[in-house]
A and B are shown apart, each in its own frame.
Chain A
Amino acid sequence: MSIAASVSGFLYRKPRLRLGMLLSAPLLWLGLAYLGALAALFVTAFWHTDTFTGQVVTEWSLDNFATLFRDEVYRTITVRTLGIAVAVTVIDAVIAFPMAFYMAKFASPRAQRVLVIAVMTPLWASYLVKAYSWRVMLSGNGLVGWLFGATPGYGLAATVITLSYLWLPYMILPIYAGLDRLPNSLVEASGDLGGRPWRTFRSVVLPLTFPAIVAGSIFTFSLTLGDYITVKIVGGANQMLGNVVYDNIGAANNLPFAATVATVPVVIMLVYLAAVRRTGALDNL
């Protein structure tokens, strides 16, 4: 009997070992690379750095968290970041829903495939290329100003526009999937029972696809929450949570405080996910 055959025979008799081996790689990945990194981040948040040499001093203290809660500027930045994330999510949902609705319910199967590809095409281009294109377009003598006679210039509005553009495909695709699963017979039944289009939409389509919208919002919301590049490129003098983290790592070399600030989006996401779990949206991911 060959070695391979004897090993496979052995594994056949030990289903638990088989399962363990099968799951060990993903579990290692999840445990070490992901949760381990999060744990390391959280531990680092309690240390501090020697401000002159930049060396990390491994003494436990809550000073970083105290600074985070005491200084108004971090509250302002958190609120600003949340505001941008909510705005981007709402804008994306409003734009994405009609597009996804058309794709799922009106387009022919062939057109559907073409449209899905078209929605995904922007994902092939580099993030930086897209963000810098918006920088050029929103510039004082750029395309936006030429077309509409005015441009929002660099600032929060530009940041929201650029991020909404960047994350739109992540909103369209889950909503499309959700609408695709919605049986046409339900819409027809609503019509047969005398429901006008708006009533059908409100009472049948929207409730059934709401989890899909929420699933999309997890992407747009979390991606915006962590972003720091777009706001650097088109955000003018503004900063988001990601910039504070970046500045503390890249500029101030204060890794512990960066870790402290980085826990803010993690906590926000945990709260958001906990709220979202009730809608059943996580089953849609």
Chain B
Amino acid sequence: MRNSRTLRLIAGVMCAGTALAACGTSSTSSSSAGGGAFTPPKLEALSQLGQPEGALNILAWPGYAENGSNDPNVDWVTPFEQATGCKVNVKTFGTSDEAVSLMKTGQYDVISASGDASLRLIAGGDVEPVNTSLVPNYADIYDFLKNKPWNSVNNVSYGVPHGWGANVLTYRTDKVSPAPNSWSTMFDPNSPYKGKVIAYDSPIYIADAALYLMKTKPELGIKNPYALDDKQFQAAVDLLKQQRPLVSEYWSDYLKESQALKNGDAVIGTAWQVTVNLTQSEGAPVQSTLPTEGATGWSDTWMVSAKSPHKTCAYKWLDHIVSPQANAKVAEYFGEAPANPKACSMTADAKHCETYHAGDAAYASQIWYWTTPITQCIDGRTDVKCKDYGEWTRAWTEIKG
């Protein structure tokens, strides 16, 4: 009987708590740092390299740190281990949000961060400035990738640019005709591919809808899909809610997406080039295209954890991953533009850099790179407040329903 009384007591406390909540409360919104007013925690970059510590924990996008376990021919981790003696341990993540929370555990030394994660990592004190003079290969990297808003703060570099690419429109050539060249095939409520659309499962996907609205509804005045005021944000959310019945699945695991495309459970969707390459290699007729509206994309940066006990190995990795050989292999395996122009002569496909517009700064500027949305509108408007990432996240739960 005592047990049941305890049970009732716990239940009572819980109910009291929930009842109080139901009474309502004034919402106090915390002001968060960001934009011009954003001051990162004071952290010093490494001044000189020491002896390699013998171990390195890497947090990476799938396909960025391959050690031959997925495909014996795809391996640039083992040569690194042999050259430096740093035993590598790789953990992959599916979304930037997952990466940010994994970095908070302090268990990783380096991370390949996209633009929607990097500022959060810098602001949270999870990553430290990088002394680029200790990374010899840094000198070769395209200038238009260096000291960008997502990899530096006040001209202090927080990492090494690694590669960039677009979130491409992907489709089954045998099921989708004519070949699409607009995102409307994924957003039009009368799309013939109803129930066969596959979309990316992350709040940042709202930017894809905003990008589409930028071109189709100019009256909304969207200048940057990551800077959305109330009205613009609502329009993007509404568009995604309207898209919801068309969607068969939201993907965060690129292997699951590849499988859905291969089996024909999804015939059109947004994907990375690596997914397309993988699905093609398994014999499925899949193609990708960069639609006329442009696309969201990523420009990734290798960053060093502030809490890393393996700093020398971390710097060695930064230098290794943007070396011409490794950069060429990653770019080709993942399907992206390498950051190091010297990599272009080392790719197996001689036209790789041309296909991905590697050195083309003008092309690169057409892609809207993932950036963390913050209250200060990053398109320069000061008269309105933009929706921050917390609100993007809540809206995302609501869109999925």
Binding site for B on A (CB under 8 A): 42, 45, 48-55, 57, 61-69, 71, 73, 76-77, 135, 139-142, 153-154, 233, 236-239, 244, 247-254, 263, 266-267, 270-271, 273-274, 277
Contacts and interface: CB of A to CB of B under 8 A. Distances in A.
9 contacts: A42-B17, A65-B18, A66-B24, A71-B394, A71-B398, A142-B263, A233-B256, A251-B202, A267-B18
A53 B120 contact: yes
Interface string B6-48: 0110110011011011111101101011100000000000000
A247 B390 CA distance: 12
B393 A252 contact: yes
B95 A251 contact: yes
Given A141-B264, A142-B263, A250-B97, A263 B124 contact: no
Contact of A52 (B33, B247, B401): B33
Contacts of A135: 259
A237 B249 contact: yes
B244 interface: yes
A270 B10 contact: yes
B185 to A, nearest CB: 17
Contacts of A68: 21
Contact of B4 (A55, A76, A251, A277): A277
Nearest to A235: B249
B133 to A, nearest CB: 29
B98 interface: yes
Given A66-B21, A71-B398, A270-B11, A52 B34 contact: yes
Interface string B80-93: 00000000000000
Given A239-B400, A252-B97, A254-B393, A51 B249 contact: no
B389 A51 contact: yes
B252 to A, nearest CB: 8
B250 interface: yes
Contacts of A270: 7, 10-11, 14
Contacts of B123: 52-53
Q: Which 6 A-B pairs have the closest CB atoms?
A: A65-B21, A51-B390, A251-B97, A52-B32, A252-B393, A53-B124
B166 interface: no
A238 B397 CA distance: 10
Contacts of B297: none
Interface magnitude class on chain B: 35 or more
A73 B397 contact: yes
A254 B97 CA distance: 10
B32 A53 contact: yes
Contacts, number: 143
B377 to A, nearest CB: 14
Given A42-B17, A50-B32, 4 more contacts: A52-B374, A52-B388, A62-B21, A140-B264
Contact of A63 (B18, B28, B202): B28
Contact of A274 (B11, B124, B256): B11
A276 to B, nearest CB: 11
Per DSSP, chain B at the interface is: helix
Given A51-B390, A153-B265, A237-B249, A249 B17 contact: no
A107 B250 CA distance: 47
A69 B25 CA distance: 12
B40 to A, nearest CB: 10
A94 to B, nearest CB: 29
A233 B257 CA distance: 11
B372 interface: yes
A56 to B, nearest CB: 10
B14 A51 contact: no
Contact of A51 (B32, B244, B247, B264): B32
Nearest to A71: B398
B359 interface: no
Contact of B30 (A57, A62, A274): A57
Interface string B128-152: 0000000000000000000000000
Contacts of A50: 30, 32
Nearest to A62: B25
Contacts of B342: none
Contacts of B313: none
Interface string B225-255: 0000000000000000000100111100000
A54 B397 contact: no
B18 A139 contact: no
Contacts of A61: 25, 28
A154 B18 contact: no
A236 B197 CA distance: 11
Contacts of B396: 247
B104 interface: yes
A48 B28 CA distance: 10
Given A154-B265, A253-B104, A254-B390, A54 B124 contact: yes
Contacts of A76: 401
Contacts of A77: 401
Contacts of B400: 237-239
B97 A273 contact: no
Contacts of A248: 393
A245 B33 CA distance: 26
B314 interface: no
Contacts of A65: 17-18, 20-22, 25
Residue with the greatest number of chain B CB neighbours at <10 A, chosen from A51, A62, A67: A51
A252 B373 CA distance: 13
Contacts of A62: 20-21, 23-25
Contacts of A238: 400-401
A141 B260 CA distance: 11
A237 B244 contact: yes
Nearest to A49: B390
B214 interface: no
B116 to A, nearest CB: 11
Residue with the greatest number of chain A CB neighbours at <10 A, chosen from B4, B10, B18, B398: B18
